[in-house]
Amino acid sequence: MATLVMQSEVGWRTENLGALLFAARNRAVQAKLAVLYGQGHAIVTDAQLALFHNLDRSGARPTLIAERAGLTKSSISELVERAVVMGLVERVADPHDGRAKRICYTPPGLAFLELLETAIAVADDGFLAAVGPVAMRHTVATLAQYAELDGTAASGNIGRLFGRAARRFVGDVLARTDGNIGEPRLMLFRALDLDGTRLTDVAARSNVTKQAMRETIALAVQAGFIEARPDPEDGRARLLAFTPTGLTVLAQLRLAVTDAERDVACLLGDPALGDLRRQLKTWLATDQAKLRPTNQ
């Protein structure tokens, strides 16, 4: 099984549709964060954007925010607590249910929301500049069809649209596995080299913090997919590498990815899928500095 993985290693893990969608989503997030950081919001993280993207101006209950974001209530509670400390949101009594709480923006939070809307527009304009208006319209329509979103939900935030489509693809892939992988651990199967990778590099490739990656790795080690080995180039360092079980799962994932992409082609058609791949690769290959507006 490991031989199968070796022979088919080139490209499929980093250039399958799900990986391209996640990479495009991360590119859009980085464009948004650059705007926020430039205006003094350097402690806002990628994860926290999920809260602000799904919190109405008039407020919302945590359960609704979690449902919209596709996160657990405990994860949303943690994000809310951080935003409370930052002074951007507050918990208030729900006027329709005295036992419940709503999460509402504070005045500084509303100002932040205005800035976030500007940041979203900058990311959208970056994609528009990279691929052109016709290709952008086709990309939005294609992704909306795949992610089963209506026109309103699909407009005005290309990064979130990339994310919604990526998560559908991941769900289709995981449905074809034994159910013991999960989306967080799937990052490892995309990011680990066959001869081992350092934690710092795995975290950077996955666009998460080292602490978050440590938690994911701990679960993967417990499941028997990953192990730590001495780095032959640095005796003080450790490499994360697949176990034989992990290599077997990796080969299974390759088959699942192939089947999932075949389903996408059946849904969208080969021409539309080919166009989508080309637009994603164009976006990812574009130097964002050249797309940044001069007044930013």
- Per-residue pLDDT tens over the stretch 140-176: 999 999 988 765 555 668 998 999 899 899 989 988 8
| 3-state secondary structure at position 271 | helix
pLDDT reported for residue 2: 42
Q: 96, 111 in Cβ contact below 8 A?
A: no
Beta bridge partners of 242: 226
Q: In this structure, how many other beta carbons lie within 10 angstroms of the beta carbon of residue 58?
A: 8
Listed residue (285, 280, 250) closest to 22, CA to CA: 280
The mean pLDDT value for 90-115 works out to 91
291 confidence band (pLDDT: 50, 70, 90) = very low
Q: Would you state the pLDDT for residue 4?
A: 42
pTM check: above 0.85:
no
pLDDT in tens, 12-31: 888 899 999 999 998 999 99
E strand or H helix that includes residue 259: helix 244-268
Q: What is the largest CA-CA distance in the chain?
A: 63
How far is it, in rounded angstroms, from Cα 175 to Cα 178? 8
187 by Cβ neighbours in 10 Å (0-12 / 13-18 / 19+) ranks as buried
Closest by CA position to 195, among listed 152, 157, 247, 158: 247
